[in-house]
Amino acid sequence: MADTAREAIPGFGSIGEIQERLAREGYIADRMLATTLFLSVSLGKPVFIEGEPGVGKTEIAKVMSRILDTELIRLQCYEGLDSNAALYEWNYTRQLLELRLQEARGVDGLQIGHNLFSEEFLLQRPLLKALRSEGPRAPVLLIDEVDRSDEEFEAFMLEVLSDFQITIPEIGTLHARHIPFVVLTSNRTREVHDALKRRCLYHWIDYPSFAREVAILRARLPQVELRLAGQVCRFIELLRERDFYKRPGIAETIDWARALITLGIAELSPDAVQQTLGCILKYRGDSEKLKQLGLESMIEMALMPGHDPAAAAEFCT
C-alpha cells in the first residue's frame, strides 16, 4: 500500500525544500514541522497535528494541497458525525428517477432496478471521495478537528485509515485509487485514542516564537511595517502568557494587524488597543481581565527594547 502512496505523491528532495515551498505559499514552518511533513509524504503515513485553536493546523492541509498540486478533500468532524455523512449514502432521488426511466422505456420486469445499487448511484462523502478520487495525483484528505467526533467514529476511521479500502455490502470492496495524503487535526478538547495516533506521525504545534510570528505576519500581510509587526507580536505574546479563557491564535494576530493598518495606526497606544481589542479577545471576561491586568503596562512592556522584529528574517526564504 505504501508503495502506491509513494508513486502517487511526488516526494520532496529534502526537508529544506519542503520548508522553502511552504514559505513560498505563505506558510512559515519550523524545521520540526517540515521534517514531520517530509516523513509523512515519504513514508505514506497520515500526519496527526494537535495544538491550540488558531496555530495553523488546518492551513497545513490547504498549503500541502497547493504544493502537491492536488485536490483538497475536507471532512469536518462534529459530535454525532457518522459514516453516512463521512463515507457514502445512496442517492435515492437518482435511483427513483432511474427506476421511472426504466419503466418508461419498458425494461423487462425482471431487469428493472438491477443496477440501482452500483457505484454510479452512490453519493460520495469525503472519505469515499478521497479513496475514489480520479485525479492524476493522490488528493490531500483533511480530517479536521477529530476531537469533536465521538469515539465510535474514531474507531471507524481507524479502519478506513488502516486499509484504505471500504466494503459496501451491495457492491463489495472498493480500494483506494491512490492513497491520499492524510492530515488529521485536533484542538485537544479531548484525548484522541492511542490506536489512531499510532497510525500517524504526530506533531504538536505550539504558539510561534516571537520571531516566527513576525515572519508569519509579514508573509500574510506584506504591507505591515516591521516596527508595528514587532509591537503586535510582542503584545500578543504577552497576552498568551496570561491566563485568558481564549488566548489569541495566529489568525487573531493577522486580523489585528490588518485592523490597525486599516485605521492608519502605526504604533500601539492604549487608545489604539482599546479600539481594536475585539480583534484579539472575543470574550467579555477576557477584556475585563486585561483591564484589571493593566492595559497600559502591558503596552509599555510590548514596546520595551529587546525584541527585534528583524530577527524574523531568518524564517524568510
For binding to Mg ion (CB under 5 A), which residues are involved?
Answer: 58
Report, in Å, the least distance between residue 135 CB and ligand ADP: 23
CB-based contact 193:146 (threshold 8 Å): no
CB-based contact 199:158 (threshold 8 Å): yes
By CB under 6 A, tell whether 246 contacts ligand ADP: no
By CB under 6 A, tell whether 71 contacts ligand ADP: no
The three cell numbers of residue 79 are 459530535
By CB under 6 A, tell whether 66 contacts ligand ADP: no
Among 55, 142, 192, 214, binds ligand ADP (CB under 6 A): 55
Residues 157, 149: Cα–Cα separation, whole Å? 10
By CB under 6 A, tell whether 248 contacts ligand ADP: no
Complex with Mg ion: residue 112 or 251, whichever CB lies closer: 251
Complex with ligand ADP: residue 121 or 207, whichever CB lies closer: 207
Complex with ligand ADP: residue 58 or 149, whichever CB lies closer: 58
How many CA atoms, within 13 angstroms, populate the side-chain half-sphere of residue 193? 13
Complex with ligand ADP: residue 179 or 219, whichever CB lies closer: 219
Give which of 81, 64, 89 is closest to 182, Cα–Cα: 64
Report, in Å, the least distance between residue 123 CB and ligand ADP: 27
Contact range with ligand ADP by CB under 6 A, out of 35-43, 94-102, 212-220, 277-285: 212-220
By CB under 6 A, tell whether 59 contacts ligand ADP: yes
Would you say how long the chain is, in residues? 317
CB-based closest residue to ligand ADP: 56
Among 250, 268, 272, 273, binds ligand ADP (CB under 6 A): 250
Complex with Mg ion: residue 52 or 230, whichever CB lies closer: 52
| Strand positions, DSSP E, the chain | 47-51, 72-76, 88-90, 122-124, 140-144, 165-168, 172-175, 181-186, 201-205
Complex with Mg ion: residue 62 or 125, whichever CB lies closer: 62
Instruction: Supply the Cα-derived Rg of the chain in whole angstroms.
Output: 24
Report, in Å, the least distance between residue 255 CB and Mg ion: 15
- Which residue's C-alpha cell is 505550539? 206
Picked from Mg ion, ligand ADP, none, the partner binding residue 113 (CB below 5 to 8 A depending on kind) is none
By CB under 6 A, tell whether 257 contacts ligand ADP: no
By CB under 6 A, tell whether 225 contacts ligand ADP: no
CB-based contact 84:140 (threshold 8 Å): no
Give which of 242, 3, 48, 279 is closest to 145, Cα–Cα: 48
Burial 143-179 (b: 16+ CB within 10 A, else e): bbbbbbbeeebbebbeebbeebebebeeeeebebbbb
Burial class from Cβ neighbours inside 10 Å (0-12, 13-18, 19+) for residue 197 reads middle
Report, in Å, the least distance between residue 98 CB and Mg ion: 39
Report, in Å, the least distance between residue 144 CB and Mg ion: 6
The values of phi and psi at residue 195, to 5°, are -60, -40
Among 12, 18, 21, 27, binds ligand ADP (CB under 6 A): 27
CB-based closest residue to Mg ion: 58
By CB under 6 A, tell whether 99 contacts ligand ADP: no
By CB under 6 A, tell whether 53 contacts ligand ADP: yes
Binding site for ligand ADP (CB under 6 A): 26-29, 51, 53-59, 185, 216, 219-220, 249-251, 254
